[in-house]
């Protein structure tokens, strides 16, 4: 499964990558971008199966990236998991309205990450089966 | 009101005000009043200017508390110190992650070797088997601890975001102060330098402040 990890802090990208590998995802298939703009360019150029993104980033924020993904016919079905320090109600609602698939507040545990990922894949499988 | 009473009341007033009240020339009266009001305004604006200068100085010193290393000479120094804090904490987090990357395969190998020894062992009381079992417990505890260590590094990212917010706050305070200085300068009758919308450097800050005599 090809995953794009988007965060302006290199530490956080490495931590998310580390956790994803621990959960059994293939390390070479995980790629990184340091803001929304770079992520969008990569997503348009190559097929990815999932995006894990931060909210607060320079140039293009995570919510703008999410909106851009949902607005792009080729990308709109892509699962997006938001991993962010933003924990105020309005922002979580904004992410939900923009069509986020999961929302994790930092700092988080590997168990939380696994739960959210499992839920995303369960929902995708269910919607795939009913379609 | 009698002339005597007026004279008594006027006694407590400054000479210029007394002269003004005694004047019978309407135009001169208006002019004198305007000049007094202007003088008062200028006092106020000068006081505001001094206040702005003091606040600016305080913000300049803020960085020193955060960086805990001498007193920054300028706002740019303060910002640089905070950038260094970010950089150092990021390096520390990466070194911890390097350590995890190095130790994880070691823990896995120890666990696998312990299993191999246990498979070969004929008796549970065999000292090699006892040691292998202990090694296995240790390796598993290490693997768990290493995972926790990875997660703990995410505090660097959270702390870094706070620092970034403080940097943004310092910048906004500085531009507000400059706007105040510009405004007080303009109201005090001096020409305001309209081209300064954002602060590019400390030199710019000092030049602007000195233009208004602060």
**Cα–Cα distance for residue pair B91/B84, rounded to 1 Å:** 10
Closest to B85 measured CA to CA, from B164, B203, B197, B24: B164
Q: Provide the shortest C-alpha distance from residue B45 to chain A (in Å).
A: 38
| pLDDT on residue B196 | 39
Nearest CA in chain A to B148: A109
| pLDDT on residue A14 | 93
**Tokens in use for B188?**
């005090």
Sign of the alpha-carbon torsion through A5, A8, A13, A15: negative
**Tokens in use for A84?**
């962010």
Going residue by residue through chain B (214 aa), what tens digit of pLDDT does each one get? 555 555 555 666 777 777 777 777 888 888 888 888 888 888 887 887 777 777 777 666 654 454 444 555 666 777 788 888 888 999 999 999 999 999 999 999 999 999 999 998 888 888 999 999 999 999 999 999 998 899 889 888 888 888 888 888 877 877 777 777 667 665 555 444 444 345 455 555 556 556 655 4
B122 backbone dihedrals φ, ψ, rounded to 5°: -90, -30
CB contact under 8 A, A107 and B94: no
Q: In this structure, are strands A3-6 and A50-53 parallel, antiparallel, or unpaired? A: parallel
Q: Provide the shortest C-alpha distance from residue B54 to chain A (in Å).
A: 32
Q: Provide the shortest C-alpha distance from residue A111 to chain B (in Å).
A: 11
| pLDDT on residue B76 | 72
Mean pLDDT in chain A?
Answer: 90
Could you give the C-alpha distances from B11 to A73, B1, B8, B16, B17, in angstroms and in order?
A: 86, 15, 5, 12, 10
Closest to B196 measured CA to CA, from B172, B179, B173: B179
Nearest CA in chain A to B150: A15
Chain B residues lying within 8 Å of A110, measured CB to CB: 147, 151
Interface-testing mutation among B100, B145, B161, with chain A (most A C-beta atoms within 10 A): B161
| pLDDT on residue B9 | 59
CB contact under 8 A, B154 and A7: no
A-contacting residues of B 13-72, CB under 8 Å?
Answer: none
CB A100 within 8 A of CB A82: yes
Torsion from C-alpha of A113, A119, A122, A127, nearest 10 degrees: -130
So where are chain A's domains? 3-130
- Tell whether domain A3-130 is in CATH 3.40.50.2300: yes
**Cα–Cα distance for residue pair A108/A100, rounded to 1 Å:** 18
Q: Provide the shortest C-alpha distance from residue A85 to chain B (in Å).
A: 7
Between A and B, how many residue pairs show a Cβ–Cβ distance under 8 A?
Answer: 49
Task: Map chain A to HEC letters.
Answer: CCEEEECCCHHHHHHHHHHHHHCCCCHHHEEEECCHHHHHHHHHHCCCCEEEECCCCCCCCHHHHHHHHHHCCCCCCCCEEEEECCCCHHHHHHHHHCCCCEEEECCCCHHHHHHHHHHHHHHHHHHHHHC
Residue B93 sits at the chain A interface (C-beta within 8 Å): yes
Closest to B123 measured CA to CA, from B111, B132, B110, B113: B132
- In the block, tokens 């390096």 appear at B91
Indicate the pTM of the whole model: 0.64
**Tokens in use for B208?**
């602007």
Closest to A40 measured CA to CA, from A96, A9, A80, A12: A80
Tell me: pLDDT of A81 over 60: yes
The DSSP bridge partners found for residue A53 are A6, A82
Could you give the C-alpha distances from A71 to A45, A59, A63, B29, B101, in angstroms and in order?
A: 16, 18, 12, 71, 39
CB contact under 8 A, B157 and A56: no
B-contacting residues of A 13-72, CB under 8 Å?
Answer: 14-15, 18-19, 22, 56
Nearest CA in chain B to A15: B150
């Amino acid at each position: 499964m090809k995953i794009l990890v988007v965060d302006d802090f290199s530490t956080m990208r490495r931590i998310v990558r580390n956790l994803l590998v621990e959960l059994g995802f293939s390390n070479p298939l995980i790629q990184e971008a340091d803001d929304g703009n770079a992520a969008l360019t990569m997503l348009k150029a190559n097929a990815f199966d999932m995006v894990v993104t931060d909210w607060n980033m320079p140039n293009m924020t995570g919510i703008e990236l999410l909106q851009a993904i949902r607005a792009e016919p080729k990308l709109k079905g892509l699962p997006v998991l938001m991993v962010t320090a933003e924990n105020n109600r309005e922002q979580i609602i904004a992410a939900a309205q923009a069509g986020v698939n999961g929302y994790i507040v930092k700092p988080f545990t590997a168990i939380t990450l696994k739960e959210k990922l499992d839920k995303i894949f369960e929902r995708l499988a269910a919607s795939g089966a009913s379609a | 009101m009698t002339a005597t009473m007026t004279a008594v009341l006027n006694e407590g007033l400054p000479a210029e005000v007394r002269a003004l009240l005694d004047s019978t020339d309407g135009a001169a009266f208006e002019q004198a009043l305007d000049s007094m009001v202007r003088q008062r305004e200028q006092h106020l604006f000068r006081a505001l200017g001094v206040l702005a200068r003091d606040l600016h100085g305080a913000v300049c010193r803020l960085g020193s508390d955060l960086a805990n290393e001498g007193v920054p000479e300028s706002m740019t120094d303060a910002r640089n110190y905070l950038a260094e804090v970010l950089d150092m904490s990021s390096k520390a987090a990466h070194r911890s992650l390097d350590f995890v990357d190095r130790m994880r395969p070691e823990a896995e190998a120890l666990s696998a070797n312990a299993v191999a020894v246990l498979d070969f062992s004929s008796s549970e009381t065999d000292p090699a088997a006892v040691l292998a079992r202990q090694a296995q417990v240790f390796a598993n505890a290490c693997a768990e601890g290493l995972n926790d260590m990875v997660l703990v590094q995410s505090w660097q990212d959270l702390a870094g975001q706070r620092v970034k917010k403080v940097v943004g706050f310092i910048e906004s305070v500085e531009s507000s102060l400059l706007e105040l200085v510009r405004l007080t300068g303009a109201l005090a009758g001096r020409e305001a330098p309209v081209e300064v919308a954002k602060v590019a450097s400390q030199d710019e800050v000092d030049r602007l402040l000195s233009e208004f005599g602060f």
